[in-house]
Structure 1
Amino acid sequence: MPKRNSTVRRSEIIDALLRVMADRGWANATVNRIAAEANITPGLIHYHFQNKQEILVELVRRLEEEHESRIEHLARAGTPTERVKTMVMGYLKTSPARGDAEAVATWVTITAESIRQPEVRDAFGDAVMRWMEPMRQAIEDGLKTGEFDTGGLSPEACAAAVLACVQGYYNLGVTVREAVPKGSAVSCALRMVAGMLRISDFDSFVAE
């Protein structure tokens, strides 16, 4: 087997954890299974990481970085209304960071583990706050330009509501997929956001 440098090997292990978690969940993501998925020995896992929890924390950070890279241009281009719309569509037409079912399933599992594991909760909390910031900024800008009227709700509260909507769709999409009619998530989310922000051109905003 060709020798890998440490950065590449760690990245491969993180990728392996994502795939195993998406298929089997966190409890069944044993070091042996992660090693088999990465095509390495369990000893190499322990060489690069103290335990599988450390791999999970790094996976959260990886998803956060990839999400930021993907969503950055959506958060900067256009009017506040256009930015909010493209971000909502970007969140729901693609998964957290990677745009695939594995990443969504893994993110939902990470959400659950953040309740149980303080280290994961810290990394998850950092990711959530960073994900919310572009939405918060767009809403704040829209209030200044008069495009939005939140009825006194703060930009922070509105951004949290948008994220809660998106997270809810992620959770249902993984756990009870039949509960969400196909193709309805983006349309419904846009309508909820348009109502909360009291966007005047409602029909234009909700058109996909």
Structure 2
Amino acid sequence: MARPSNTEERRQQIVQGLLSVMAERGYERASIAEIAKAAGLSPGLVHYHFTQKQEVLLALVEQLAARSGERVRARLERSKGGARAQVDAFLDAFLATGEDADPDAVAAWVTISAEAVRQPEVRAAYEKVVRADLAQLEELVGAVIGRRRARAVAAGLFAAVQGYFVLAAASPELIPAGSASSTVKRMAAGLLDAEPASEGTS
């Protein structure tokens, strides 16, 4: 495997610096100086690799999406029990604790979702990631209950995941330790095992 170039390494350092600062101070208070300090670099070097702070944020969106994708792939590969187990594995990838859990990434993702409301460029990047994740969940759900109901059920489960992200970032003490994944999986069981809704109902 090829070694990353010095430019790639520096860019990754800077993006990791933003992640660290955002986890503590949020995006608004993540100055270039603070990002540089967290990255162990000079502010001038940050400006050399990124012309503005938003570019660092967009690179962070890409990195978080890649990490999340790897986590999902690993969980799906390890899952046993067919289509139903794959849905649980997907939910675990986002919500379960463990060695691959990343609280800073969860906090950053909540901040990114807030910035997506304010910044069109961030919204486009955020929506691209969410669309891909939701499409994957919809496909997994569809393998269990069929395509007709899959989109609504997948959207409901994904909204629950995002809601847990917000609570974990804003008020973590409100969530009993280790309860997020098990609770959403119980929700999934109820939705996936329910009788099909009649036409015209939501």
Q: Describe how 1:93-108 pairs up with structure 2 within 5 A.
A: 93-94=96-97, 99-108=101-110
Whole-Å separation in 2 of the counterparts to 1:85 and 1:138: 10
Unaligned ranges ≥5, structure 2: 196-202
TM-score (norm 1): 0.83
User: Following TM superposition, by how much is the alpha carbon of 1:182 offset from its aligned partner in structure 2, in angstroms?
Assistant: 2.2
Deviation at 1:66, TM superposition (A): 1.3
Q: 2:97 touches 2:178 (CA, 8 Å); kept in 1?
A: no
Match runs of 1:187-206 below 5 Å: 187-198=182-193
CA 1:199/1:72 → structure 2, altered by over 3 Å: closer, same or farther? farther
Matches within 5 A, 1:128-147: 128-144=130-146
Aligned to 2:198: none
Letter in 2 for 1:39: G
> 1:204 corresponds to which residue?
none
**Structure 1 counterpart of 2:120:** 118
Instruction: Please give the root-mean-square deviation of Cα atoms over the aligned residues, in Å.
Output: 2.1
Rounded Cα–Cα distance in structure 2 between residues aligned with 1:72 and 1:8: 24
8 Å CA contact 1:75, 1:134 repeated in 2:
no
Contact 2:144 2:192 in 1 (8 A): no
Q: Percent identity?
A: 38
- Equivalent residue runs for 1:109-188 within 5 Å: 109-144=111-146, 154-188=149-183
- Amino acid paired to 2:138: R
* d(CA) in 1 for partners of 2:177, 2:40: 36
Give the alignment's TM-score, normalised by structure 2.
0.85
The superposition leaves residues 96-141 of structure 1 with CA deviations (integer Å, 9 ceiling, x where unpaired) of xx62221111111111111101111111111111112221111111
Q: For residue 62 of structure 2, what is the aligned residue in structure 1? A: 61
Q: 1:119 to 1:94 in 2, by over 3 A?
A: farther
Matched length: 188
Offset at 1:199? 6.2
Shift of the alpha carbon at 1:191?
1.5
* C-alpha distance in 2 between matches for 1:117 and 1:186: 31
Q: Which runs of 5+ in 1 are unaligned?
A: 145-149, 201-208
- The aligned runs of 1:8-47 (5 Å cut-off) are 8-47=9-48
Question: For residue 125 of structure 1, what is the amino acid of its counterpart?
Answer: E
Partner residue, 1:84: 87
Q: Match of 1:26, SS? A: coil
